[in-house]
Structure 1
Amino acid sequence: MTQNKDLKPITLYSHAAGPNPWKVAMILAELNVPYKPEFLNFQDLKKEPYETICINGRVPAIQDPNTDVTLWESGAIVEYLIETYDKEGKLTYDTVPERFQVKQWLFFQATGQGPYFGQAIWFGKYHHEKLPSAQQRYMDQVLRVYDVLNRALEGKEYLVGDKCTYADISFIAWDHRIQVVFKDDFGIEELEKKYPNYARWHKVVAARKAVKEVLEDNDRAVAANQN
C-alpha cells in the first residue's frame, strides 16, 4: 500500500502476539501513514528505557516525529491518529450522532472486548493452574461480546452508518487472536452458526486490504517469535 512520503515514520512499540499494537498498525495502514514497528519482549516492558516512553509498561506506544507526540494506550492512539491524519474522514464521521457513536464502539472494544478476550486466553492457555470458574467466566464474557456485536449488526453492514470506521477495525486484532488460540471453539465457521451477523461483518472488515496485510504480518511475527 502506498504510504505518504511526506511523513516521517511513526515508531510503533509492539509485541508479536499482543493484539493491541496490531489494532494501531491497522489504523496506520488504512491511513497510509508510514510506521516502523519496534518489537519488545514482555520482560523489557516494565523497565528502562521503555518505562520512560510508557510508564504503565504495556504496549502499544507510539513516538510521532512529525508532531513530537509520544502516546500510549491503544484507544488514545487510535483517536490521535484519526484526528491528526484522517482529515478526509475516511474512517470516521464529522456528523452527529455518528461521530460519537464511533467513539462509543471504540470504548466498548477497549473496555469490553480486549480485557475479557485477554483474560479468556490467559486462563485458558497460560495460567499456571487450571481454574475452571475463571475459565468459564471469561469464556462467557467472550460469548456476551459476540452476542452484543451480533445484535448490533442486525440489518447493518457496519457498526455505525454506511461505511467501515475505526470502530469496526479496532475489534479485528483481538477477534483474530482468539480465533487462532481457540480455533476449535471460536473458529469463524463455528461462529457463523450462532452469530451470523458478527461472522459476516468480521469477514468483510478482515478482508480489507490494509487490515488483511497487517493480520498476515501479525501471523508471521507470531510464528517467528515461536521459533
Structure 2
Amino acid sequence: MKSVLYGHHAGPNPTKVVMVLEELKIPYEIKLLEFPEMKQPAYEKVNPNGRVPTIEDPNTGITLWESGAVVEYLVEKYDKNGVISFQFDTPESYHAKQWLYFQASGQGPYFGQAVWFKIHHREQLQSAVDRYINEICRVSGVLNGVLQDREYLVGDKCSYADLIFISWFEVVPWAAGDRVDLEKGFPHVHAWLIRLKSRPSVVTGLGGQSEAPKKL
C-alpha cells in the first residue's frame, strides 16, 4: 500500500522526504496543500503543528510529522540493506544522525529565517537580513570544511545525511542574492551539490521547487 505524504509544491522539508522515498523505492502519493489548508481543523487532526510534511504509512499504521523524524523513520523501517543508511550501532550510523540533527536545527531554521526577512517580512530589517545571511555562510562553511577531503558526509557513499541538505540550499539565491556565491565561496559544497543533483531521486524531489519560496 502507498504511503501518503502531505506536502507543498515549493516546500524544502517535504522535498527531503520525497528524495528518501525515491531512493528507497517506497510507493507513495503526495497530497499537496496550500498554506491556508494547513491551518484547518481537518489537517491539524493529522498534524497539530499545521505544517508539512506529514506522512501516513498504511503498512504500519504510523502517522508522523517533522521531516527529520520522518526521514529517520523511513531509513530505520525500510532501509534494511543500507542503501542510504548504515548498519545499526556503527560509528557511521551515529555520524549520519549527527548530520540529521544539524540540518534540522542549524540549516533549515536559519535558511528559512533568511528567506523570511529578505522576502516576506513587512519591514526591511537589515540587521536581521545580515544575521541570517551570515548563518547561511556559517553553515556552508561547516559543510565546506568537512567536504574538502571527502565526497560525502559519512562513509564513502551518498546517504540520507547528504540528501537532507539539498533542498534548503535551493533557497539561497532567493534569500541571499549575490551575497552568497557557493561556487566561489564554498567550492566543496558546490561540487557536492552538483554530484547529488545528478541522482534521479534528487531530480524528482527538486521538481517541485522551481518557484520563489512561500512563507516557510
Q: TM-score, normalised by structure 1?
A: 0.89
Distance 1:91 1:19, change over 3 A: same
Q: What amino acid is aligned across from residue 123 of structure 1 in structure 2? A: F
Report the Cα offset of residue 41 of structure 1.
1.3
Q: 1:25 and 2:7 equivalent?
A: no
Within 2, Cα distance between the matches of 1:170 and 1:27?
A: 9
The answer for the alignment partner of 1:154 in structure 2 is 148
The alignment of Structure 1 onto Structure 2 pairs a total of residues equal to: 212
SS in structure 2 opposite 1:151?
helix
Taking the aligned partners of 1:185 and 1:36, their CA distance within structure 2 comes to 38
Aligned to 2:191: 200
- Alignment of 1:69 with 2:69, yes or no, is no
Aligned Cα root-mean-square deviation (Å): 1.6
Q: How much has 1:182 moved relative to structure 2?
A: 4.4
The equivalent position to 2:203 in structure 1, one of 204, 207, 212, is 212
Q: Within 2, Cα distance between the matches of 1:172 and 1:71? A: 22
Q: Is 1:108 equivalent to 2:98 in the alignment?
A: no
Q: Which runs of 5+ in 2 are unaligned?
A: none
Specify whether residues 185 and 35 from structure 1 end up closer, same or farther in structure 2 by C-alpha distance, changes over 3 A only.
farther
Q: Which residue of 1 aligns with 2:136?
A: 142
Contact 2:7 2:33 in 1 (8 A): yes
The amino acid of 2:128's aligned partner reads: A
- Mapping for residues 1-227 of structure 1, pairs under 5 Å: 8-94=1-87, 96-179=90-173, 182-186=176-180, 190-219=181-210, 222=211
Paired residue type of 1:39: L
Checking the alignment, whether the CA contact within 8 Å between 2:7 and 2:31 is kept in structure 1 is: yes
Answer with 127-136 or 207-216: which moved more.
207-216
Greater relative CO (CA pairs within 8 A, separation 6+)? 2
Alpha-carbon distance in structure 2 between the residues aligned to 1:53 and 1:118: 23
The TM-score normalised by the length of structure 2 is 0.93
**What percent identity do the matched residue pairs reach?**
49
CA distance in 1, matches of 2:125, 2:83: 44
